[in-house]
A and B are shown apart, each in its own frame.
Chain A
Amino acid sequence: MFLFNYRYRLKCIFKDRQLMFWTFMFPILLATLFNLAFANLSSSDNFKKVNVAVVQNEQLDQNPAFVKALDGADNLFVVKYTTQDQAAVLLSDHDIDGYITFDPDLNLVVNQSSLNQTIIRGFLDDFKQSSATITTIITQNPSALANGNLEGISSRTEYLKAVAANQSNPDPVVNYFYAMIAMTCLYGGFLGVKEVVAIQADLSDVGARINLAPTNKLTVFLASIMAATTVQLLELLILLAFIIGVLGISFGDQLGYIALTCVVGSLTGVTFGTCIAAIIKKGEGLKIGILIGSTMIMCFLAGMMSANIKYTVMTKAPILGYLNPANLITDSFYALYYYNTHTQFFTDILLLCGFTLFFSSVTYFVLRRQKYASL
């Protein structure tokens, strides 16, 4: 009997085209759009050599030290030597970020203030400051020049060594995909709502028929929930395969834990839906409305629209993060991808299990032993 119900509930779900669109096609579409839109977002920070022009004039010829310093900075700049007029044209066409001219002092001409201009400025400051240092040394200790040459000044020591935060690239774009998977999990609530409607005698004809049957309602309902979770999990795994395989978004390499998150997330989503459907007595439209509305608010707080929101919640109101299933799912993936330890991951998973338990208990206590005087 259990298997019979299970099979037929599966058929009912797969045949519901609208439901399949929202729980399956829509997330895949959204993932594709995210990928199209965010593809260049993180690489836009990447350093590209700054284009500068240097105006060739007599004053420049009198400063060979500057040209030498600029040649030494070829890892920073692409330098063009031009006339004053050419430089002005290049600047207004945005072909260069700024041009350097001696008139007679070192002068930088730009038409906007952004990081590239700040870098040119930093380099010029550096040049002037080095000259100032030499002057200070010579005034304070004239013998320095006599004792040896000042060549040591132009040889630079590298004082920094990079220490990676961990093996994964800190790329905020992945968080959008994690939050989107959280959304898909909670959209599993559509399936939960459908199953509750289908078993409640006052909500659907099928429900009335089922309640007449001499079968234990819990058994029937468990079969429904199993069917819903199966479909949800299947959809989620296909989505995950699509995001990892086709779109190439990194989730780290702990596949077992990722699968665990999917299973727990699916259960949370489906029971979230049954819980809403059980509590709210009004029509299916309102149930769906509340499901979509609450899911969107939770996903917003988990950073689906702007990754910074997740950080703000994390630092300013961590409790809000722990009470938000969407954030817990997002955070599980984030912890697996980014942290070196598993403490955060297991905290998230345990809390998600807690939510699942809570949602199922509420559903159970509302649905059991309902009797109708009239339908």
Chain B
Amino acid sequence: MQVYKAFFKVIQKNRAQILIYLVVFMALALILSGAYNPPQDTDFTKVKVNIAFINDDGDSQLVAGLKTYLGENANLVAIPDETQKLQDALFFRQVEYILRVPAGFTEDMLNGKEVQLEKTTVPDSTSNIYMDLLINKYLNTVKTYTTYLPGLSQDDLSQNLEKDLAEQSKVTMISNGTHSIYAEKSGYYFNYLSYSLFAILILGVCSVMLVFNDTDLKRRNLCSPIRSANMNMQMVLGNLSFAILTWLVLISASFIMYGSFMFTATGLLLLLNSFVFTLAVLSISYLIGNLVKSRGAMSAIANVFALGTSFISGVFVPQELLGANVLTIASFTPTYWYVKANNEITAAVSFNTGNLSSIFTSMVLVLAFGVAVLGVTLVLIKQRRVES
């Protein structure tokens, strides 16, 4: 097993480069699982938009009432009243709506004069429309009262408003069954896994291939007493064990983070999907390993492949946000089908022939990619041998 041992010696020498991608992935996985909490769809909860409320008017019951009303229906974020700080908050979506109550608002409003509040928003956004609806509702109710019940004291007005606006309509939530809180999280985990897997396998396999394809070394190996079939067998074994080892390391954190969830149907399908994907990536890495000539080109190609496929296939940005033509291009990479299957697995509440057939079609396509690329590589190797 000299060849097999040599394979892992070369990997050992290149471990620094490979470890970087492992660390990047683990960091991403940890940050994601800590930060992201998917909404629970068993009861209806209204979405609260983040808004900033700035009052240039004096303290009055009317303004306080409006603020309380908005506080119940939106998240009030405290931002200092400075132009740049407000602009920053809006730009980075810390708030999506800035409402400014002008000076003299209470008096004008109670006297039925025309008055307008200033809003600064993300143009055309849905949150903008919703907040307009809420604020106009409150102020129109005030107007109705001041019109039809003139002379109503501010106290009574607030009481009436509070009572009226507490009226709520009934909402029935049709639940699609319970969904594990881990389902969506683990989906992200396995999607990100594709980025590191691509980078690590390309780097690992290429660095070994560069050594073994070196002309002098190859000639020396060919005149060794080991049969060429035996040598190739050991190489195949080396590649496979390296890929499986990488897969095991990358999925290991999922067991720590999601525990027994990984043994449910969803978890097992995710594992199977990632394993199939590993084989396809190995096959692509093997092709690249037989094409690159230098270590510089190797790290360039590893980065381009890992980043490129991840960006267009929906690893970093969800597939539903990508344009149709981007997805068409992406469907020529296995990553697209891998991510598609992951999304379908995690979205499914129960598995039936419908969604399972779609999931397995994706897996078969990923496998087909692997086989096709392997075929091309073998033809390439054969051709080279005949030429030389």
Interface residues of A, Cβ cutoff 8 Å to B: 17-18, 21-22, 26, 29-30, 33-34, 36-41, 44-48, 76, 91-92, 105-119, 121-133, 136-137, 140-141, 144, 150, 152-153, 156-166, 169-172, 175, 307-308, 310-311, 314-315, 334, 338-340, 344
B217 interface residue (CB < 8 Å to A): no
* B94 touching A137, Cβ below 8 Å: no
CB distance from A48 to the nearest CB of B (A): 8
With A105-B170, A129-B141, A310-B92 as known contacts, state yes or no: A152 contacts B147, CB within 8 Å.
yes
B34 interface residue (CB < 8 Å to A): no
Q: How far is the CA of A164 from the CA of B127 in the complex (A)?
A: 16
Q: Which residues of B contact A307 (CB under 8 A)?
A: 92
Q: How far is the CA of A38 from the CA of B323 in the complex (A)?
A: 9
* A113 touching B321, Cβ below 8 Å: no
Q: How far is the CA of A340 from the CA of B83 in the complex (A)?
A: 10
What 6 pairs across the A-B complex have the smallest Cβ distances? A311-B92, A18-B296, A124-B169, A33-B311, A170-B91, A132-B164
Which B-chain residue is minimally distant from A88 (CB atoms)? B174
Which of B43, B45, B145, B300 has the largest count of A CB atoms less than 10 A from its CB? Answer: B300
Which of B49, B92, B133 has the largest count of A CB atoms less than 10 A from its CB? Answer: B92
Which of A37, A137, A339 has the largest count of B CB atoms less than 10 A from its CB? Answer: A37
Q: How far is the CA of A118 from the CA of B316 in the complex (A)?
A: 28
With A125-B169, A141-B148 as known contacts, state yes or no: A136 contacts B311, CB within 8 Å.
no
CB distance from A67 to the nearest CB of B (A): 16
Q: Which residues of B contact A114 (CB under 8 A)?
A: 47
Per-residue CB contact flags for chain B residues 139-160 toward chain A (1 = under 8 Å, else 0) read 1110111011100000000001
* B116 touching A110, Cβ below 8 Å: no
The DSSP consensus for interface residues of chain A is helix
CB distance from A184 to the nearest CB of B (A): 15
With A36-B323, A126-B133, A136-B160 as known contacts, state yes or no: A157 contacts B148, CB within 8 Å.
no
* B117 touching A46, Cβ below 8 Å: no
From B49, B118, B167, B307, contact of A161 by CB (8 A): B118
Q: Which residues of B contact A115 (CB under 8 A)?
A: 47, 49, 126-127, 130
From A37, A157, A170, contact of B140 by CB (8 A): A157
Per-residue CB contact flags for chain B residues 38-63 toward chain A (1 = under 8 Å, else 0) read 01010111110100000000000000
Q: How far is the CA of A153 from the CA of B164 in the complex (A)?
A: 14
* B87 touching A170, Cβ below 8 Å: yes
CB distance from B382 to the nearest CB of A (A): 29
Q: Which residues of A contact B149 (CB under 8 A)?
A: 137, 140-141, 144
B378 interface residue (CB < 8 Å to A): no
Instruction: Please tell me the number of chain B residues within 8 Å of chain A, measured between CB atoms.
Output: 83
* A160 touching B164, Cβ below 8 Å: no
B9 interface residue (CB < 8 Å to A): no
With A113-B44, A137-B148 as known contacts, state yes or no: A163 contacts B129, CB within 8 Å.
no
Write 23 A-B pairs (CB below 8 A) sorted by A numbering.
A17-B296, A33-B308, A33-B311, A40-B323, A109-B171, A114-B47, A122-B133, A122-B137, A125-B167, A128-B167, A130-B141, A132-B164, A133-B145, A137-B148, A141-B149, A150-B148, A157-B139, A161-B117, A162-B119, A175-B92, A307-B92, A311-B92, A338-B91
From A48, A111, A163, contact of B173 by CB (8 A): A111
Which B-chain residue is minimally distant from A334 (CB atoms)? B91
B388 interface residue (CB < 8 Å to A): no
* A122 touching B130, Cβ below 8 Å: yes
Q: How far is the CA of A314 from the CA of B139 in the complex (A)?
A: 36
* B41 touching A339, Cβ below 8 Å: no
Q: How far is the CA of A153 from the CA of B304 in the complex (A)?
A: 62
* A39 touching B172, Cβ below 8 Å: no
Chain B contacts with A in 312-326, Cβ cutoff 8 A: 312, 316-317, 321-323, 326
* A159 touching B135, Cβ below 8 Å: yes
Q: How far is the CA of A60 from the CA of B159 in the complex (A)?
A: 31
B227 interface residue (CB < 8 Å to A): no
Which of A36, A132, A344 has the largest count of B CB atoms less than 10 A from its CB? Answer: A36
Q: Which residues of B contact A105 (CB under 8 A)?
A: 169-170
Which B-chain residue is minimally distant from A36 (CB atoms)? B326
Q: Which residues of A contact B171 (CB under 8 A)?
A: 107-110, 117, 121
CB distance from A242 to the nearest CB of B (A): 17
B90 interface residue (CB < 8 Å to A): yes
Q: Which residues of A contact B224 (CB under 8 A)?
A: none
Q: How far is the CA of A132 from the CA of B88 in the complex (A)?
A: 40
Q: Which residues of B contact A164 (CB under 8 A)?
A: 120, 123
Q: Which residues of B contact A36 (CB under 8 A)?
A: 311-312, 322-323, 326
B128 interface residue (CB < 8 Å to A): yes
Per-residue CB contact flags for chain B residues 160-187 toward chain A (1 = under 8 Å, else 0) read 1001110111111111100000000000
Per-residue CB contact flags for chain B residues 262-305 toward chain A (1 = under 8 Å, else 0) read 00000000000000000000000000000000101100100110
Q: Which residues of B contact A122 (CB under 8 A)?
A: 46, 73, 130, 133-134, 137
With A37-B317, A128-B167, A161-B116 as known contacts, state yes or no: A137 contacts B130, CB within 8 Å.
no
B222 interface residue (CB < 8 Å to A): no
CB distance from B198 to the nearest CB of A (A): 14
* B87 touching A165, Cβ below 8 Å: yes
* B176 touching A170, Cβ below 8 Å: no
From B123, B303, B317, contact of A26 by CB (8 A): B303
Per-residue CB contact flags for chain B residues 239-267 toward chain A (1 = under 8 Å, else 0) read 00000000000000000000000000000
* A172 touching B139, Cβ below 8 Å: no
Q: Which residues of B contact A30 (CB under 8 A)?
A: 307
* A159 touching B136, Cβ below 8 Å: yes
Q: Which residues of A contact B92 (CB under 8 A)?
A: 172, 175, 307-308, 310-311
* B140 touching A156, Cβ below 8 Å: yes
